[in-house]
């Protein structure tokens, strides 16, 4: 069994120099740098009160578009007591000022889903993919039940926990998150939006410039789980002169690739999932139970055992892994007022230039695009 430290060896830092702060809130001490993103840096740290390993996100106070305060707000809205609560979501130990930085302190996770894919030679088994898919839908249903969209579904933004939770998928990084339900209503449909998130996994509607909704998180999950099975996607690695042309080519390839061809050789639940999510109208309440059942039924029909014997454990499964509680359907905000259906056009407008949509007043956090 690999340690938590080993789990981060695949993300070496290009710069080992520490920032101008050694301790956070006199309780958390920086150790070594784990990586960086468009928000800033992630450091491994130690909780000086109990010697627990932690993760510390640092964002320069001079950042053009600060994100960490927003992320701490999201985490606190999910786990309001700043303690472990919602399964599969980190909790915030601390957010505040630290020298020339803002710091967000959270529990340290183990491997990301992308780490697992790479450890397994670039692909995951059908069994592991089905188990992961069920958990992904539980996490996204819970997030949506809080009125929040993720908007950047990709393997790096899902991580397994540590210790007894090395079989529990956690959803992380809410820098691009946005509320889909505000006040007493679903946000309105708008066209002409810039692409927010990661183009490889983004929904076709997002490529066409549609306002993002719950359906888009769900379709992006579908693209991601097919990536787990195949190790690549038909729209990866396309040559283009610039980002705009790249996005256009990715969109056209997604549109033109038959789902049966995309999922050839794999259980029918995978193309059916994408067929259902792509057919969702913008403000229609998704049937999360039906979508999750596709994968659960396929798992049972194949005779698999829920033993969490993931291939990246290489036969050395960690002891005392958590047994998943039975999932109970969640109430979505629009259930309380009756789900309102707003039909968006089947073909949206031409995808706009992939510029940052900083002028979008409804966006919480920043807008950041990634091709891969």
Per-residue tokens: 224? 């991601």
Annotated active-site residue in 115, 152, 173, 217: 152
Which of 351-365 are b and which e, b meaning 16 or more Cβ less than 10 Å from the residue's Cβ? bbebeebeeeeebbb
Average predicted confidence (pLDDT) for the chain: 87
pTM: 0.86
The pLDDT assigned to 231 comes to: 97
- Whether 349 shows a pLDDT value over 50: the answer reads no
152 is catalytic: yes
Beta strand 181-182 with 41-47 is: unpaired
Cβ atoms within 10 Å of 339's Cβ, excluding its own: 14
Alpha-carbon distance of 66 to 205, in angstroms, equals 27
4-38 pLDDT tens trace: 444 433 344 444 466 888 999 999 999 999 988 77
- 112 pLDDT band, cuts 50/70/90, is very high
Q: Assign a CATH topology to domain 113-370.
A: Transferase(Phosphotransferase); domain 1 (1.10.510)
Please tell me the CATH superfamily of domain 25-107, with its number: Phosphorylase Kinase; domain 1 (3.30.200.20)
Alpha-carbon distance of 233 to 244, in angstroms, equals 19
Domain boundaries along the sequence of the chain: 25-107, 113-370
Q: In this structure, are residues 193 and 187 in contact, taking their beta carbons and an 8 Å threshold?
A: no
- For residue 334, what are the CA distances in angstroms to 139, 143, 159? 18, 14, 29
224-256 pLDDT tens trace: 999 999 999 999 999 999 999 999 999 999 999
Strands (E), 48-193: 53-60, 94-98, 101-107, 148-149, 158-160, 169-171, 178-179, 181-182, 185-186
Pick the residue with more confidence: 286 or 39?
286
Give residue 179's Cα distance to chain centre: 15
- 64 pLDDT band, cuts 50/70/90, is confident
Alpha-carbon distance of 339 to 186, in angstroms, equals 9
**Beta-ladder partners of 369:** 197
The pLDDT assigned to 163 comes to: 94
The pLDDT assigned to 36 comes to: 84
């Amino acid at each position: 069994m690999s340690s938590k430290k080993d789990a981060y060896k695949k993300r070496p830092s290009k710069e080992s120099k520490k920032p101008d702060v050694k301790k956070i809130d006199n309780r958390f001490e920086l150790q070594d740098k784990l990586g960086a993103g468009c928000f800033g840096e992630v450091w491994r740290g130690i909780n000086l009160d109990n010697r627990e390993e932690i993760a510390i996100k640092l964002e320069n106070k001079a950042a053009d578009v600060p994100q960490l305060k927003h992320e701490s707000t999201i985490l606190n809205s999910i786990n309001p007591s700043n303690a472990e609560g919602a399964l599969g979501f980190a909790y915030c130990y601390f957010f505040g000022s630290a020298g020339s930085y803002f710091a967000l302190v959270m529990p340290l996770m183990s491997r990301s889903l992308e780490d697992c894919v790479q450890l397994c030679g670039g692909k995951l088994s059908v069994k592991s993919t089905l188990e992961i898919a069920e958990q992904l839908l539980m996490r996204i249903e819970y997030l949506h039940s809080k009125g929040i969209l993720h908007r950047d579904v990709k393997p790096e933004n899902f991580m397994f926990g540590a210790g007894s939770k090395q079989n529990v998928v956690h959803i992380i990084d809410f820098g691009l998150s946005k509320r889909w339900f505000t006040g007493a209503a679903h946000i309105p449909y708008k066209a002409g939006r810039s692409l927010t998130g990661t183009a490889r996994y983004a929904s076709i509607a997002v490529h066409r410039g549609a306002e993002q909704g719950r359906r888009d998180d769900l379709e992006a999950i579908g693209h991601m789980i097919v990536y787990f099975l195949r190790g690549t996607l038909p729209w990866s690695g396309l040559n283009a002169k610039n980002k705009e042309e790249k996005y256009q080519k990715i969109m056209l390839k997604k549109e033109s690739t038959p789902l049966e061809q995309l999922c050839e050789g794999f259980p029918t639940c995978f193309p059916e999932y994408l067929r259902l999510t792509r057919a969702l109208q913008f403000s229609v309440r998704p049937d999360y139970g039906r979508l999750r059942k596709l994968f659960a039924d396929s798992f049972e029909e194949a005779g698999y055992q829920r033993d969490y014997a993931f291939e990246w454990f290489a036969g050395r499964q960690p002891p005392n892994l958590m047994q998943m509680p039975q999932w109970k359907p969640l109430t979505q905000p629009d259930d309380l007022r009756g789900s309102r259906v707003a039909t968006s056009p089947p073909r949206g407008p031409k995808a706009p230039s992939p510029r940052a949509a900083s002028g979008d007043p409804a966006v919480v956090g920043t807008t950041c695009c990634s091709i891969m």
